[in-house]
């Protein structure tokens, strides 16, 4: 399985696994079934409403209601579901920006507009196979790719953070981080090549506090991040990979109490 290196605006490298062709094809089939279900619903409604009594306006309105939602399905779902469609969500893959940021409306729009070209004679599939970064033509134009959210390795192996079995979590709220956010913490703590490393540690610590609600019990920022990282590895073990951005997305926490001890 191919991997892609995504460099964030903070010059931190995060590795993502490119979504496999199989996962993308199954996601595409599921999305096709969703659109087919929409047509079947309206076909059944057609018989109930007795269209022979409709005028031209009724027919045009019906056609618009039937055709528009499937046409905009991928664009709308990726905008509303954070880079996913129903099929992508089932297969645990999502659209991400190649530079690590959240895709913009323009990037989603480019992917959607070029989708018919990708579907032409399977051209998009050929480009994905050749490209090596999981990018079809729409992705190349929009600066995006599709990555897997499946966790295929142990979290402790991914983060290269050893945590003893006897470790006692000091901050159970650390579970509110995603795997990729924890990986970002690890990268910042471990990298000595970042020119403004101290400032970066301070910035990441502030974002971790905002995301988890942990004040840190007076720890300095470096010790605070180490403690949260160790607690996260100890508590979560093998949770799914997240987006890597501190946007307030939170998993369920065992306790909302700051600084709770086991």
Asked whether residue 88 falls in the same domain as residue 129, the answer is yes
Asked whether residue 196 falls in the same domain as residue 177, the answer is yes
Greater confidence, 166 or 86? 86
Confidence of residue 30 (pLDDT cuts 50, 70, 90): very high
Q: How many whole angstroms separate alpha carbon 145 and alpha carbon 58?
A: 41
Rounded average pLDDT over 65-77: 92
Asked whether residue 92 falls in the same domain as residue 200, the answer is no
Asked whether residue 181 falls in the same domain as residue 134, the answer is no
Flag the least confident range among 41-50, 111-120, 147-156, 158-167.
158-167
Asked whether residue 181 falls in the same domain as residue 221, the answer is yes
Residue 231 neighbours by CB under 8 Å, 6+ apart: 167, 169, 170, 171, 172, 174
What b/e string do you get for 106-137 counting C-beta neighbours within 10 Å, with b at 16 or more?
ebbbbbbebbeebeeeeebbebbeebebbbbb
Q: Give the pLDDT of residue 164.
A: 64
Which of 105, 125, 150 lies at the terminal end of a domain, its last residue? 150
Domain count for the chain = 2
Q: Give the pLDDT of residue 148.
A: 86
Rounded average pLDDT over 125-129: 89
Rounded average pLDDT over 159-184: 74
Rounded average pLDDT over 60-84: 90
pLDDT at 121 > cutoff 60: yes
For the range 73-76, what are the long-range contacts, defined as Cβ-Cβ under 8 Å and sequence gap of 24 or more? 73/31, 73/34, 73/35, 74/31, 74/111, 74/112, 74/115, 75/108, 75/109, 75/111, 75/112
Q: How many whole angstroms separate alpha carbon 182 and alpha carbon 188?
A: 10
Q: Give the pLDDT of residue 105.
A: 94
Residue 247 included in any domain: no
Q: Where are the beta strands (DSSP E) in 111-199?
A: 144-148
Asked whether residue 141 falls in the same domain as residue 198, the answer is no
Q: Give the pLDDT of residue 193.
A: 62
Condensed to tens digits (0 to 9), the pLDDT of residues 186-230 reads 888 877 665 677 888 888 888 898 888 888 778 898 888 888 888
Asked whether residue 121 falls in the same domain as residue 187, the answer is no
Confidence of residue 73 (pLDDT cuts 50, 70, 90): very high
Q: How many whole angstroms separate alpha carbon 219 and alpha carbon 193?
A: 24
Query: Residue 144 is part of which domain span?
Result: 1-150
* Mean per-residue pLDDT of the chain: 78
Residue 42 included in any domain: yes
Which of 132, 150, 168 lies at the terminal end of a domain, its last residue? 150
pLDDT at 7 > cutoff 60: no
Q: How many whole angstroms separate alpha carbon 133 and alpha carbon 3?
A: 7
**Among candidate residues 175, 183, 163, the one with its CA nearest the CA of residue 17:** 183
Residue 91 included in any domain: yes
Asked whether residue 85 falls in the same domain as residue 198, the answer is no
- State the pTM of this model: 0.57
Confidence of residue 249 (pLDDT cuts 50, 70, 90): very low
Residue 72 neighbours by CB under 8 Å, 6+ apart: 112
Rounded average pLDDT over 65-70: 88
- From residue 116, give the alpha-carbon distance in Å to each of 6, 31, 75, 88: 28, 15, 13, 19
Q: Give the pLDDT of residue 168.
A: 77
Strand 144-148, strand 13-17: pairing: unpaired
Asked whether residue 138 falls in the same domain as residue 58, the answer is yes
């Amino acid at each position: 399985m191919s991997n892609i290196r995504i460099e964030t605006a903070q010059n931190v490298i995060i590795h993502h696994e490119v979504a496999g062709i199989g996962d993308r094809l199954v996601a595409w089939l599921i999305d096709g079934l969703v659109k087919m279900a929409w047509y079947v619903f309206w076909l059944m409604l057609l018989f109930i409403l007795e269209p022979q009594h409709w005028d031209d306006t009724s027919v045009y309105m019906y056609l618009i209601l039937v055709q528009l939602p499937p046409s905009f399905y991928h664009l709308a779902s990726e905008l509303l579901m954070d880079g996913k469609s129903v099929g992508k969500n089932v297969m645990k893959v999502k659209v991400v920006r190649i530079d690590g940021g959240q895709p913009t409306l323009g990037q989603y729009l480019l992917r959607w507009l070029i989708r018919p070209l990708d579907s032409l004679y399977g051209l998009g599939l050929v480009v994905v196979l050749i490209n090596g970064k999981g990018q079809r033509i729409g992705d190349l134009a929009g600066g995006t790719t599709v990555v897997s959210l499946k966790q295929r390795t142990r979290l402790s192996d991914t983060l290269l953070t050893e945590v003893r079995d006897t470790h006692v979590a000091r901050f159970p709220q650390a579970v509110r981080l995603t795997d990729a956010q924890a990986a970002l913490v690890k990268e910042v703590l471990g990298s000595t090549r970042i020119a403004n490393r101290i400032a970066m540690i301070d910035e990441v610590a502030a974002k971790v506090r905002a995301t988890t609600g942990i004040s840190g019990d007076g720890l300095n920022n470096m010790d605070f991040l180490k403690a949260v990282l160790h607690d996260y590895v100890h508590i979560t073990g093998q949770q799914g990979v997240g987006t890597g951005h501190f946007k307030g997305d939170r998993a369920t926490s065992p306790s909302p109490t700051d600084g709770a001890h086991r």
